[in-house]
Structure 1
Amino acid sequence: MRGALAAQRSSARRLHLWGATALACIMSCVVLPGVSFAQDIDLVAATGVSTDSEMLLEADTIVYDHDQATVTAVGGVQIDYDGYRLVAQRVAYNQNTSRLIASGRVEIVSPDGTKIYSEEIDITDDFRDGFVNALRVQTADNTYFAAENADRREGNITTFTRGVYTACEPCEEKPDQPPIWRIKAQKIIWNGKAKTVRFEKSRFEMFGMPLAFLPAFEIADPTVKQKSGFLFPRYKSGSRLGYGAEVPYYWAVSPTADLTFKPAWYSKQGFLANAEWRQKFDNGEYSITVAGIRQRSPEEFYTSNDPTGLFRSDNEKTRAMIGTKGRFQINSRWTAGWDILAQSDKNFAYRYGIDGYDQHSRTNQIYLTGLNDRNYFDLRGYKFDVQEQETNFSRATGVQNPDARNARDARQPWVLPSFDYSYIPDQSIAGGELSIDVNSQSLYRRLADFPDKDPAANNGRLPGIEGWSGRVTAEAEWKRSLIAPGGLMLTPLLHARGDAIGVDFQGDSLDRINDLGVASDIRSAYYRAMATAGLEARWPVLFSTTSSTHVLEPMAQIFARPNEPHGTSLGIPNEDAQSMVFDASNLFERDKFSGYDRIEGGVRANVGLRYSGNFDNGWSAHGLFGQSFHLAGRNPYAQLDYVNVGAASGLETARSDYVGSFGVVSPIGFNASIGARFDEESFEVRRTDLTAGYASRPVSVSAAYSFIEKQPDYGFAADRHEVRGSASVRLHENWRVFGSGTYDITNEVMVRKAIGFAYDDECFSYTISAAEYINRDNTSDKRRTLGFQISLRTLGDFATSTSISQN
């Protein structure tokens, strides 16, 4: 009779205790060793099973043998207790021997979804010794473990005989088919005290084919977040470094700190020492990386232009670096951090690929940031690095490099500090919104930055002076939105700004300024102020049809202000406003300069028409077209500065070029946009950017075309045309091919091209790719890379790359 229970209250209590004990015993023997290899623990701690929980026992027959002191459940046994479920054909408990045996298609399901399958489980009630026959485990995170049998001894050592481990899900159609990868071992020994898992006489298989035989290896207990040991090796190669291998060793110093040694050996350059220390705290973390090498063959870096290596930083015999990164949340409002690299020469970290510090152009910084409601504070110090091989001076004599115009690093500035503060009061002021902003920067540059390769040449640009400059800016803006009858939206605006600027011209900066052939006003201090009154008018009009809605919004702005102070002569450095792109995105900006070092002055009006549309089929469209007019005063975009930022920008005339943009978005993954600038008289295209893309699961494609008309006074003597594209095609559920490229139409050179293919599924991924990079100004300067990466879920990643440079 199914579900039979003893009528007596004492028998019911005994049965409840027996069922709880049975399930706890089985879970302690099977669930933890098979799933997480946990350490030796007691009944409640091991299984999480509460003896106070209600138990439901179902079976065809339950037999009490008082003479033999056994309780046996037979036929369709199912025990549900505290979120666990045990299913078996027979479960017996012997009180004299303190052993419990579950047999016949045993299945255990834990609350987290882990499933354990076995033919027989035999265990003592003190959990120290036990035996499991034909064990299979499926964990909640879809890892799989099987063994012919498992034997537990001494309470913390479990031995699995002829075990198999994989993270690949079995094929539903062909469950007997081997998984993509698996590890087979004659013995797998789990040590709960040492928290290690040891594989003996093991082999690694892919698709059922053995690839590697490993006499013995050991990994950390998966429940352990940190465990000292060797990591997967990495292989590297390069034309000047030779073949190399890195064998990392991870040392878990404490639960919150670790140290990773990454020694590497290169056939041409020798031994590279590399180590990384990391430590976490409740409110943040930091890391320190150190590396060094004594190069065996620095002459590998000699070039035809420098056969002695005196002007190449790669040619140093001894090279080293130290880098550190950190970020700390001081409280809910304040965050502090840093990212700093110091090295013996310009490009050691880049050349040897030191993780986290191998960018060709990188930014060293220290920062403090605060954010509270509508207040923002940001204080930073910067040092820009270019990890290049050219030096500015001879390493032996100190003589300037005759080719030093190609060396960019010494011309990068120190910014100590850069400060931004923004405050918007919660209360309205005269019915409108007031915003207050403060910005300052202090900048030092060791060498003047000028783009020409010939020191005697004069192309009219000086991007950075040698010496120091500093600026403090404070500004306030008030605006209020009003709605007039008929839906006309009016926004009056008032703005005021003041600047104090200091400059210390050093070296040949004054000579460079005089070479520009423009009137100059050289001082050690400058002061300027600007006040603006403006008005914006918008009149959105809604049109609706049976299948779409459209909004047309005519817009107009006018800003009245005096001329830009010190705008007719050179003196104030321009460091942060050197980029000038006039397009639809900044048509309605009050000040179209990109930074604080330049100020827009004079009276200007901006007019345009904005459109947006939505269709019932899921498509949408948006567009903008307009023009800007300089009405009175000096046009700041027609005034010369150190970089001629307004030259050929489209704003240097009284009537600007036309600018427009239009884009569409579809519900099927397709999107496209176009932006353009047209000559105000001939309507000839001056600049255009066209992008299109499509994304779905089997195919992902994107393409872009850019055209910029020549700007000789801005440093570009020829038109610039460029096409960029990328695509990824999934050939099968798990296989895909991808590629990308960039073609310089003007120079007729493919400056970048890459291709690769990849396989990825739930437990395994493989990627191989090849790429070539060509210097558009020197097509003989090429760099090719080839690499692949294998990722085995739960085991780790294996990667290697080869780089060949030709210059």
Structure 2
Amino acid sequence: MRSAWRRAAALSCASALAIAAATTNYSPALAQSSGQVGGFTNPSSNAQLLLQADELVYDNDNQTITARGGVRIDYDGTILVASRVIYQETDGRLIAVGDVEILQPDGTRTFADEIDITDDFRDGFVNSLRVVTTDETRFAAESATRQNGEVTTFNNGIYTACNECVSKEGRPLWQIKAKKIIWNGEEKTVRFERATFEFIGVPLASIPVFTTSDPSVKRKTGFLIPSFKNSEELGFGLRVPYFINIAPNKDLTLAVTGYTKQGFLGEAEYRHRLENGVFTLKTAGIHQFDPDAFGVNEIDSTVENRGMIGTTGRFTINPRWAFGWNGMLQSDADFSKTYEIAGFNSTVFENNIYLTGIGERSYFDARTIYYDYQSASVFSRTEEEQAVVLPSVDYNYTLENPVAGGELSFNVFSRYLKRDEQDSRFNGDPTRSNFATPGVDADTYSLTAETEWKRTFITDGGLMITPLVHAQGNFTNLDDGTSGALSATNANLGGDGSYTRGMVTAGLELRYPILFSTSSATHILEPVAQVFARPDENQAGVLPNEDAQSLVFDANSLFARDKFSGYDRIEGGTRANLGLRYTGTFDNGWGIKAIFGQSYHLAGTNSFAQADTFNTGQNSGLETTRSDYVGAVSFTNGSNYSFDVGARFDEDDFEVQRADLAANYTGDRIKWRVGYAFIGSQPAYNYITDRQEVSSAASYEFAPNWSVFGGVTYDVENTFLDKYTVGIGYDCDCFKMRASYTEDRSTNTDAITKEYQLFLSFRTLGDFGETSDEFASTRY
């Protein structure tokens, strides 16, 4: 009897597991629920069985085994609970009756009034079935039958991913109902018959019959979820993608987007994964029906047939080395941005081929680069003025063992640039007639090598002394350069030929951190003093400045040895930097960091007062003997609030020359962000007036699950809105919605783009549309 019961109990548990696995398989969650949908797995042959019941009866006449009253069977990690469990030896059927509940090892719970199945799992019946998966998706059916071990039919099935979003009557926010759901385990398909999608109890869509792959199939040829688009120039658009599974490691996605104003946009994307990486090939094109819908002076209005082709690649050669590329060719300068071709629609797209290597104490990077500047303006020459980098190579190595007790590092940088059209800009100062030249129409080769040694000593009194020695050499060759004087500023620009220059720096840094504490706070006050002695920079303005144009003097660069951002400029002359750092930590969770200081040119020629082809250093706050003052303060409570402000103040009257402010707050119902930027006039860079901008975004939950949101960017100097967004949103555990309206003023023309957006997200089903709410999360 014991062996028979063991067989019956084992079969009951295994049967329960089979039914639970089968029922979970039919969740329309599809691939999103793949963690819950594995097929039936036979229990371990070494599994131990534990049976609990009020009564156990073996009926020899009817050849049945019955467990009654609080039946619980634990077998191989699966738990079956029922009022009664019966095993019929004559026909090999197992029946569990009364409040049947099955808990699988993965956490999936199955509920039923009755389960009736054969001991080989080929045929069976489940009455009043309910399944709750580990990700809180729910499936129910009045009954389910299993035939031939492969085909299971659910009768009057309901699926939903809603747990908290339910009405007082218990109705989920959305659900899918089907008269029959038929799963074919051999063909790996799920067939829905007479399916209806309901939202807040209202049927929104009915489909007589559709078939999809079951959740165990991650890749299958078929249509993907459509999406909607809308803009003033393109009109309303519907995008329908079709996925073709070529092989387990490669696929093709075709998509057609129909726009009410511009016609049909076709797209194709091929993806191929290899053992060590992946590459993609993408193409898109359209014949525009109404180019006049765009602005008069916009590129989009001048062409009818438009298109692009793009490719990406990412490969891992070994754990230290990687290789890849990004590339795009398009019919005009703005196609991919206008039609939002995914992966290729940024304003500045970097075409590159790269090879990188990272060691424990070294770094290598080699790449070719060409920038596509996507602009709608027909007057823009930025695209033609971009240089081609063929290539740049950067290598850095730090010795593992100390040299003279200090750290010794080496760096080598090589770059070849080719530009066919010169980038020259009138500086905008009516009192001067010079130009800035961000890039010259020349072939330029540059090789830079540098080495640095530094060591930190700490005295008994806590003073930190760091001596430093740095040496740098550069070789540059210009071919077909502009030798004529473009202006007074560029009169020294060199012509064809080779040039060499070098710089040796000896530096000393002193830091004295002072720690003092109170009963509720800890404070660190650290005075910092630096001095760097070096000869004057040579050939400033003679050689083009390509990579050191973005000079920003602020608290972050106050203590930099060389404040130029690239290799084309080398800071010369003797300079001292003085400042004070402060760090405060308080018991209430708040923290403060602050820095304030000034830089002093002590001897030699001030590099920042020497004009180059881009006027770098002019209006920077460093071109005078005493620099402007710079400072920054940061507050945070470590959780939901932060405040950061940085500024540069005039050396004489303390007038603000540059300021940046950012504040963020994240509460239970309110989220907001405020930013402010101010840059004083910079005539040398063609900015003859101040620039000020305020940006802000906020979200407010005014009722459970409901919120309003918005964002604005305001040009203070020109007193107009650059961009604003207003919208409303809804969030719950199974559904997210964002509806918004945006107006955006073009950076190149006076055109204003108006855009309506609708974003809908149904958990486990998919997302539709896009959202401008920066606080929104599409994750559940």
TM-score range, shorter chain: over 0.9
| 1:431 equivalenced with 2:421 (yes/no) | no
| 1:15 equivalenced with 2:5 (yes/no) | yes
| 1:600 equivalenced with 2:575 (yes/no) | no
Indicate how the Cα distance of structure 1 residues 384 and 194 shifts in structure 2: closer, same or farther if over 3 A, else same.
same
**What is the CA-CA distance between 1:717 and the residue it aligns to?**
0.4
Give the aligned partner of residue 709 of structure 2. 738
| 1:119 equivalenced with 2:141 (yes/no) | no
Alignment of 1:395-544 (within 5 A): 404=379, 406-452=380-426, 458-505=433-480, 509-511=482-484, 513-514=486-487, 516=489, 518-544=491-517
Give the aligned partner of residue 695 of structure 2. 724
Q: Quote the Cα distance in structure 2 between the aligned partners of 1:172 and 1:193.
A: 36
Give the aligned partner of residue 370 of structure 2. 383
Q: Which SS does the other structure have where 1:47 is aligned?
A: coil
Q: Which SS does the other structure have where 2:751 is aligned?
A: strand
| 1:781 equivalenced with 2:774 (yes/no) | no
Q: Which SS does the other structure have where 1:18 is aligned?
A: helix
Counterpart residue identity of residue 435, structure 2: G
Q: Quote the Cα distance in structure 2 between the aligned partners of 1:170 and 1:186.
A: 26
Q: Quote the Cα distance in structure 1 between the aligned partners of 2:664 and 2:640.
A: 8
From 206, 214, 226, the equivalent of 1:221 is: 214
Q: Quote the Cα distance in structure 2 between the aligned partners of 1:237 and 1:512.
A: 51
| Alpha carbons 1:523, 1:571 under 8 Å: kept | no
**What is the CA-CA distance between 1:642 and the residue it aligns to?**
0.9
Give the aligned partner of residue 265 of structure 2. 272
Q: Quote the Cα distance in structure 2 between the aligned partners of 1:631 and 1:656.
A: 11
Counterpart residue identity of residue 17, structure 1: R
Q: Quote the Cα distance in structure 2 between the aligned partners of 1:453 and 1:546.
A: 57
Cα deviation 1:54-102 (Å, max 9, x = unaligned): 1011112222122322212122211100100001111111122111111
| Alpha carbons 1:464, 1:573 under 8 Å: kept | yes
**What is the CA-CA distance between 1:221 and the residue it aligns to?**
0.8
| 1:690 equivalenced with 2:683 (yes/no) | no
Q: Which SS does the other structure have where 1:426 is aligned?
A: coil
Give the aligned partner of residue 533 of structure 2. 560
Gaps (5+ residues) in structure 1? Answer: 1-10, 39-43, 307-311, 392-403, 803-807
From 652, 660, 663, the equivalent of 2:634 is: 663
| Alpha carbons 1:258, 1:278 under 8 Å: kept | yes
Counterpart residue identity of residue 10, structure 2: A
Q: Quote the Cα distance in structure 2 between the aligned partners of 1:769 and 1:172.
A: 26
Indicate how the Cα distance of structure 1 residues 317 and 191 shifts in structure 2: closer, same or farther if over 3 A, else same.
same
From 273, 279, 289, the equivalent of 1:286 is: 279
| Alpha carbons 1:249, 1:261 under 8 Å: kept | yes
Q: Which SS does the other structure have where 1:24 is aligned?
A: helix
| 1:771 equivalenced with 2:742 (yes/no) | yes
Cα deviation 1:151-206 (Å, max 9, x = unaligned): 111221111111101111156995x4211110011111111122121211111111
| 1:92 equivalenced with 2:86 (yes/no) | yes
Counterpart residue identity of residue 271, structure 1: F
**What is the CA-CA distance between 1:700 and the residue it aligns to?**
1.6
Q: Quote the Cα distance in structure 2 between the aligned partners of 1:294 and 1:685.
A: 52
**What is the CA-CA distance between 1:692 and the residue it aligns to?**
2.0
| Alpha carbons 1:263, 1:274 under 8 Å: kept | yes
Give the aligned partner of residue 623 of structure 2. 652
| Alpha carbons 2:21, 2:39 under 8 Å: kept | no
| Alpha carbons 2:426, 2:435 under 8 Å: kept | no
Give the stretch that moved more between structures: 519-528 or 590-599. Answer: 519-528
| Alpha carbons 2:26, 2:183 under 8 Å: kept | no
Counterpart residue identity of residue 508, structure 2: L
Q: Quote the Cα distance in structure 1 between the aligned partners of 2:382 and 2:275.
A: 40
Give the aligned partner of residue 701 of structure 1. 672
Indicate how the Cα distance of structure 1 residues 134 and 660 shifts in structure 2: closer, same or farther if over 3 A, else same.
same
Cα deviation 1:713-753 (Å, max 9, x = unaligned): 12210011111212122224422222211111111111111
Indicate how the Cα distance of structure 1 residues 439 and 332 shifts in structure 2: closer, same or farther if over 3 A, else same.
same
| Alpha carbons 1:143, 1:167 under 8 Å: kept | yes
Q: Quote the Cα distance in structure 1 between the aligned partners of 2:736 and 2:484.
A: 59
From 610, 622, 626, the equivalent of 1:639 is: 610
Q: Which SS does the other structure have where 2:634 is aligned?
A: strand
| Alpha carbons 1:492, 1:534 under 8 Å: kept | yes
Give the aligned partner of residue 244 of structure 1. 237
Q: Which SS does the other structure have where 1:729 is aligned?
A: strand
| Alpha carbons 2:427, 2:683 under 8 Å: kept | no
Counterpart residue identity of residue 534, structure 1: G
Indicate how the Cα distance of structure 1 residues 471 and 534 shifts in structure 2: closer, same or farther if over 3 A, else same.
same
Counterpart residue identity of residue 500, structure 2: Y
Indicate how the Cα distance of structure 1 residues 31 and 202 shifts in structure 2: closer, same or farther if over 3 A, else same.
same
Counterpart residue identity of residue 787, structure 1: Q
**What is the CA-CA distance between 1:244 and the residue it aligns to?**
2.8
Q: Quote the Cα distance in structure 2 between the aligned partners of 1:196 and 1:511.
A: 74
Indicate how the Cα distance of structure 1 residues 316 and 554 shifts in structure 2: closer, same or farther if over 3 A, else same.
same
**What is the CA-CA distance between 1:683 and the residue it aligns to?**
2.0
| Alpha carbons 2:255, 2:268 under 8 Å: kept | yes
**What is the CA-CA distance between 1:266 and the residue it aligns to?**
2.7
Indicate how the Cα distance of structure 1 residues 520 and 367 shifts in structure 2: closer, same or farther if over 3 A, else same.
closer
Give the aligned partner of residue 155 of structure 1. 149
| Alpha carbons 2:619, 2:682 under 8 Å: kept | yes
| Alpha carbons 1:785, 1:801 under 8 Å: kept | no
From 325, 329, 338, the equivalent of 2:325 is: 338
Give the aligned partner of residue 778 of structure 2. none
**What is the CA-CA distance between 1:498 and the residue it aligns to?**
0.6
**What is the CA-CA distance between 1:667 and the residue it aligns to?**
4.5
| Alpha carbons 2:576, 2:602 under 8 Å: kept | yes
Counterpart residue identity of residue 502, structure 1: N
- Which TM-score applies when normalising by structure 2? 0.93
Indicate how the Cα distance of structure 1 residues 634 and 729 shifts in structure 2: closer, same or farther if over 3 A, else same.
same
Q: Which SS does the other structure have where 1:379 is aligned?
A: strand
**What is the CA-CA distance between 1:485 and the residue it aligns to?**
3.5
Q: CA RMSD in A?
A: 2.3
| 1:762 equivalenced with 2:736 (yes/no) | no
Indicate how the Cα distance of structure 1 residues 684 and 265 shifts in structure 2: closer, same or farther if over 3 A, else same.
closer
Q: Which SS does the other structure have where 2:437 is aligned?
A: coil
Q: Quote the Cα distance in structure 2 between the aligned partners of 1:512 and 1:67.
A: 114
**What is the CA-CA distance between 1:452 and the residue it aligns to?**
4.3
Q: Quote the Cα distance in structure 2 between the aligned partners of 1:159 and 1:704.
A: 58
| Alpha carbons 1:744, 1:776 under 8 Å: kept | no
| Alpha carbons 2:434, 2:487 under 8 Å: kept | no
Counterpart residue identity of residue 363, structure 1: E
Q: Quote the Cα distance in structure 2 between the aligned partners of 1:733 and 1:493.
A: 60
Higher relative contact order (CA 8 A, sep 6+): 2
Give the aligned partner of residue 49 of structure 2. 55
Give the aligned partner of residue 398 of structure 1. none
**What is the CA-CA distance between 1:546 and the residue it aligns to?**
2.1
Counterpart residue identity of residue 541, structure 1: I
Q: Quote the Cα distance in structure 1 between the aligned partners of 2:317 and 2:71.
A: 57
Q: How many positions carry a matched residue from both structures?
A: 761
Q: Quote the Cα distance in structure 2 between the aligned partners of 1:655 and 1:30.
A: 77
Indicate how the Cα distance of structure 1 residues 178 and 253 shifts in structure 2: closer, same or farther if over 3 A, else same.
same
Q: Which SS does the other structure have where 1:487 is aligned?
A: coil
**What is the CA-CA distance between 1:318 and the residue it aligns to?**
2.8
Give the aligned partner of residue 396 of structure 1. none
Q: Quote the Cα distance in structure 1 between the aligned partners of 2:718 and 2:462.
A: 52
- Which TM-score applies when normalising by structure 1? 0.90
Give the stretch that moved more between structures: 615-624 or 740-749. Answer: 615-624
| Alpha carbons 1:33, 1:190 under 8 Å: kept | no
Q: Which SS does the other structure have where 2:423 is aligned?
A: coil
